[in-house]
Amino acid sequence: MERKTVLILGGGVGGQVAANALASRLAGRHRIVLVDKQNDFSFSPSFLWMIVGQRKIRDIQRPLAALLRKGVELVQAEILKIDPTRKVVETSTGPMSFDYLIISLGADLAPEKIPGFQEAALNLYTLEGSSRIQKSLEAFSGGKVAVLVVSSPFKCPAAPYEAAFLVQDFLKQRGKPAEVSVFTPEPFPMPTAGPKVGEALKAMLESKGIQFHPNHKVTNIEPDGNKMIFENGKSETCDLLIGVPAHQGPKAARDSGLTNEAGWIAVDRETLATKYEGIYAIGDAASVPIAGGKALPKAGVFAHSEAEVVAANIMARLEGGAPGAKFDGKGWCAIEMGGGLAAFGNGDFYGESPQMRLYPPSRTWRWGKVLFEKWWLSPAGVRRKLLRLVLNLGAKARGIPSSL
Ligand SMILES: Cc1cc2nc3c(=O)[nH]c(=O)nc-3n(C[C@H](O)[C@H](O)[C@H](O)COP(=O)(O)OP(=O)(O)OC[C@H]3O[C@@H](n4cnc5c(N)ncnc54)[C@H](O)[C@@H]3O)c2cc1C
């Protein structure tokens, strides 16, 4: 059998899942190569716990090599350009050719798009920014805290709200008088999940005394006094500004002409195939169409499932089978509420209108979130055992047999 090369661009959530799934079946028979510019993987959902001092960098970062199964070749390099017709990727360490390509380069952050953001705001979406938020909150003596969403789409639609809940709880516990507000261009929280979920989250914010300002699209920030100027003519100041910066498609894909008008890679919503034979895009980099001309929200849970689908179909093709795996648009998230509680939402985003169900906050959902973090940060060999344990425990609790 001819030895083929599956090249995976990006070793974040989608890239790791795809590489490990492929290696579990193909290692030794085909080459599985993963390229990332970073040596270490940081689990970004845990940035939220970092900002309130519940995690340190060492708790949420691992060498990428430790998270990959045997049989995955890891290359540390910057991806510069992708030539889909010649099937070659240009990298900082030279060209790499492939038979199959999985693009999982995530979203690029573009804080520079809003004048004043970089000077005034603490960036919730980077490891370094989260660490700075933690230090600033420690030193904060009280006043107005704003969580600002610059534009849509942004990854993890719940994250800014989780940040607001955690910050409010942290400052209350420390006895620091504060007024926490969220400003967003969206009409209600998590709009793709539908108005019911949005209204429920709004009510949860209000019940904690967090002010919610929808339809506030920031145009620029005056660093002197953290003055946010909005498109609707209003302006607001605050003492501490926590920001979610603008997002855009990954530079290497944009520079290669692989992106649509909005700057993301268009894919088939069931197979994640691009218009180029043997080339797939998953996770945040992809634009996955859903009803109403919208796109699937950007979240790790989707990157994870999409990676499994693409890996299954590539394996089938390499083994002469029919590539029948399909991504079903289903996803879930545990929403941190502070005070040791998390709410839980799950839903189907491929229906006529997305159906998401929100379960009330409980300690159990929060424990689930913690276990999920532990799973992600465990060595590749331990992950399967941990997953089996969690599923068995869950099945026992619900009184049903577990198949794993
Ligand atoms: C604060 C926060 C909280 C979140 N919470 C949740 C949550 O609770 N649930 C959830 O489902 N999702 C959550 N997310 C979103 C989730 O982290 C992303 O959706 C997910 O990581 C996307 O996976 P990906 O593989 O597409 O991209 P990523 O995981 O971002 O991986 C992209 C990889 O590509 C590499 N890369 C990029 N460009 C290049 C280049 N030119 N050369 C080489 N390498 C490159 C990067 O180094 C990176 O390793 C959260 C995100 C944040 C920021």
Give the number of the atom of ligand 1 that is nearest the alpha carbon of residue 285: 26
For ligand 1, is residue 298 a contact (CB within 6 Å)? yes
Show which of 246, 277, 292 is a domain's final residue: 246
Q: Is residue 305 part of a domain?
A: yes
**Is residue 237's pLDDT more than 60?**
yes
Q: What is the mean pLDDT of residues 13-23?
A: 98
Show which of 315, 331, 347 is a domain's final residue: 331
Lowest mean pLDDT among 89-93, 192-196, 215-219: 192-196
Give the number of the atom of ligand 1 that is nearest the alpha carbon of residue 78: 42
Residues 261, 227, single domain; the answer is: no
pTM score of the predicted model: 0.95
Residues 49, 87, single domain; the answer is: yes
Ligand 1 centroid distance, CA of 108 (Å): 9
Q: Which residue has the higher pLDDT, 234 or 386?
A: 234
Q: How confident is the model at residue 401 (pLDDT cuts 50, 70, 90)?
A: very low
For ligand 1, is residue 10 a contact (CB within 6 Å)? yes
- DSSP per-residue letters across 147-167: EEE-SS--SSTTHHHHHHHHH
For ligand 1, is residue 89 a contact (CB within 6 Å)? no
Model confidence over 281-303: pLDDT tens digits?
999 999 999 999 999 999 999 99
Q: What is the mean pLDDT of residues 12-22?
A: 98
Q: What is the mean pLDDT of residues 134-162?
A: 97
Q: What is the mean pLDDT of residues 160-187?
A: 97
pLDDT above 90: percentage of residues in the chain = 90
Model confidence over 340-372: pLDDT tens digits?
999 999 999 998 887 789 999 999 999 999 999
CA dist 216 and 234 (Å) reads 8
Q: Whose CA is nearest to atom 35 of ligand 1?
A: 10
Q: What is the mean pLDDT of residues 167-192?
A: 96
For ligand 1, is residue 336 a contact (CB within 6 Å)? no
We report the CATH number of the domain holding residue 268 as: 3.50.50.60
**Is residue 404's pLDDT more than 50?**
no
**Number of domains the chain contains:** 2
Residues 118, 215, single domain; the answer is: yes
- Look up residue 191 and give its amino acid: P
User: What pLDDT does residue 403 have?
Assistant: 32
Backbone phi and psi for residue 48, each to the nearest 5 degrees, phi listed first: -65, -40
Q: Is residue 293 part of a domain?
A: yes
Ligand 1 centroid distance, CA of 390 (Å): 24
For ligand 1, is residue 45 a contact (CB within 6 Å)? yes
Across the strands, what pairs with 109?
Answer: 247
Domain residue limits at 183: 110-246
User: What pLDDT does residue 386 have?
Assistant: 74
Q: Is residue 367 part of a domain?
A: no
Strands (E) across 98-250 are located at 100-103, 108-109, 122-123, 143-149, 178-183, 211-213, 218-222, 227-230, 235-237, 240-244, 247-248
Determine if the peptide bond prior to 153 is cis (ω within 30°): yes
Looking at every residue in the chain, the average pLDDT score rounds to 94
For ligand 1, is residue 47 a contact (CB within 6 Å)? yes
Q: Is residue 394 part of a domain?
A: no
**Is residue 402's pLDDT more than 50?**
no
User: What pLDDT does residue 394 have?
Assistant: 60
Residues 265, 236, single domain; the answer is: no
User: What pLDDT does residue 397 have?
Assistant: 56
For ligand 1, is residue 329 a contact (CB within 6 Å)? no
